[in-house]
Structure 1
Amino acid sequence: MARLKPQLPKGASFAHDAAIEYLSHRLSAFRHIAVITGAGISTESGLSDYRSPGKNKPPRPPIKHQEYVASAVVRQRYWARSYVGFPVLSNARPNLAHLSLAALHDAAGSRFRAHITQNVDGLLQAAKLPTASLIELHGTIHKLVCRSCGAYELRKTFQTRLNTLNEQWSRELGTYSYRPDGDADLDSELVHGFRVPHCNECGEEALMPALVFHGGQVPAHVADKATRMVEQCDALLVVGSTVTPFSAYRLVRLAKQRGAFLACVNFGDTRADDLYDVKVEALVGNAMARLTNLQLTGGFAVREGFEDVLRPQEDKLVRRLEL
């Protein structure tokens, strides 16, 4: 594996030219490139991740699927934590990584047509990556489904209902931390008294986020679609992910078994480091902006809102992007 570790000046976040140029050169040989992304592409939008270098393990383990289904107390704890953490997640905006990936997809004749994300934050969609080309491997935080009747509800609508039932409770909050799925870390004693709305359709206390909990299974139709995407690619690019969950790692391993070229842009070690042909260790936002600039011929069209993302950047490589 060509393991490229750019040497960045203190305080800088721009990927070294040579590393990204080498990766771009290698990717240019392939016509059908699939992309897998993880929480690392959203950290520059202000969202936490799970496994960046130097990050301690979460102070409490995340709620598991069977725990959520089996226990009303666990569901109460989950929704109290989600109620507190959701505003941070819902107010996040796409960064250079999301916008660059969307720009790669938009380019005429683009070879980057298949995208599999482990993220539940919806920021790739906010960057205008078409949903038809995107698989949300672990679901989305922005919808709920009733386990009793199958009805759906938007998470932001449910947040309003939570707020109505828990106005007094919310005044007692102190400080907290949160996870990439909007799950805040609250003291157990604070959770008592939190009220959880029932389904508007059937009246049951059976609403569940439309995402894959730890210990849960990726729906078969989602896993199958992701498998087909990888089987059809001749190169696979992993961005901002350690691919620690088997649901993602198996796809990298499958691509390797089928002879695809494997590359990674990530800050820190990953589970698949021994499989990659090329790995660039860098903060992904500016690295992906640089890679996008190299992959697209003659610049690319201005994307609404992107000027404000680029304007504060002083590096000439980023200023060259006319997104």
Structure 2
Amino acid sequence: MRVSNLLRFRSTSLQRCSIKQQYVPQHKPALDDDIKRLEDFLLSKPNVVVLTGAGISTESGIPDYRSEGVGLYARTNHKPIQHMEFLKSSNVRKRYWARNFVGWPSFSGKQANATHHALSRFEREMRIQSVVTQNVDRLHTKAGTKNVVELHGSGYVIKCLSCEYRTDRHEFQHILASLNSTFNNVLEMTRPDGDVEIPLDYIENFKIPDCPQCGGDLKPDIVFFGDCVPRQRLDKIAEMVYNSDGLLVLGSSLLVFSGYRIVLQTKDLKLPVAIVNIGDTRADHLADIKISAKCGDVIPKLFDYRTSGSANSNS
């Protein structure tokens, strides 16, 4: 009986690992020399700003958009929501919220991985200044990082487009569930590739609540494609870069200008930039260090030997 349970546990663990890794693009192993170079960079620049992209969350089972063969563009018919379409079309809003409702249990259940936890450790050890993330998944916060700026907002907050009303996404899920009791088989609508497939009649009948304060439309506090990052947020990031001694980019192709802009600001200040990303990025020509590798093969290994050596010396 114990052997059977152990085998079942191992099988489940391997399956979960396989699901998480299916969104990670093909990559070569990280080289020890590259890890040492990046470690030396951080030792000499203990006040860097870290900019993270979707590439650090693929190891948590959240697909990115652009990775060859494994990104959402390659795997599914999913296209990112456009800001103006969401504002103008009630049908677009219905489709968005129906998909979001079905996908929320899986998305919100994702956990921070070794890279997120390593950055949290670096913050506690005062090896980095702060984290700016292009992701809306809150995984840095789940890992315990305190000084996080969410460049594109968060999927965990719902806001009104007409007034200052805000509510928690978990609470909003309960409201949507009460209005859409026919969505009892939501798990069956999530495909193995992570996309959501909802019958058209479900979407047409999906009910979305109005803002309880003013009756306006509700949307996640996310900067959709075609929208602008709030000026106050951009100013805060610019100040963080100005007070830093460099930038470390993790898991981002930097094709979206809001992220690329931060690299340009750093170089304008004549500060160094290090990049860890599988494949090319828009800013490779500006990087002082570029490591083409999986973040999880590099970042958790930084400074790790010092901890191990200390432990061994005390034993």
Corresponding residue number in structure 2 for 1:160: 174
Corresponding residue number in structure 2 for 1:100: 118
Confirm or deny that 1:261 pairs with 2:283: no
Corresponding residue number in structure 1 for 2:107: 89
Aligned counterparts, 1:159-308, within 5 A: 159-171=173-185, 174-176=189-191, 184=196, 186=198, 188=200, 190-202=202-214, 204-293=215-304, 297-298=306-307
TM-score with structure 2 setting the length: 0.82
Q: Distance in 2 between matches of 1:184 and 1:300?
A: 47
Identity %: 37
Q: Secondary structure at the match of 2:110?
A: coil
Of 98-107 and 25-34, more deviation after overlay is shown by 25-34
Deviation at 1:270, TM superposition (A): 1.1
Equivalent of 2:127 in 97, 101, 111 = 111
8 A Cα contact 1:53 1:267, kept in partner: no
8 A Cα contact 2:190 2:197, kept in partner: no
Code of the aligned partner of 2:275:
C
Corresponding residue number in structure 1 for 2:89: 71
Code of the aligned partner of 1:82:
N
Q: Distance in 2 between matches of 1:178 and 1:111?
A: 37
Corresponding residue number in structure 1 for 2:162: 148
Corresponding residue number in structure 1 for 2:140: 124
Q: Distance in 1 between matches of 2:267 and 2:222?
A: 27
Corresponding residue number in structure 1 for 2:9: none
Higher relative contact order (CA 8 A, sep 6+): 1
Greater helix fraction, Structure 1 or Structure 2: 2
Code of the aligned partner of 2:65:
Y
TM-score with structure 1 setting the length: 0.80
Q: Distance in 2 between matches of 1:49 and 1:266?
A: 13
Corresponding residue number in structure 2 for 1:36: 51
Query: Root-mean-square deviation (CA), in Å?
Result: 2.6
For structure 2, the residue ranges without an aligned partner over 5 or more in a row are 1-25
Q: Secondary structure at the match of 2:300?
A: helix
Code of the aligned partner of 1:83:
F
Deviation at 1:13, TM superposition (A): 8.1
Code of the aligned partner of 1:215:
G
Q: Secondary structure at the match of 1:259?
A: coil
Of 89-98 and 163-172, more deviation after overlay is shown by 163-172
| Residues 105-161 of structure 1: CA deviation (Å, up to 9, x unaligned) | 001xx130121100100010000100xx21100000001111223111100111111
Q: Distance in 2 between matches of 1:185 and 1:51?
A: 20
For structure 1, the residue ranges without an aligned partner over 5 or more in a row are 1-10, 302-318
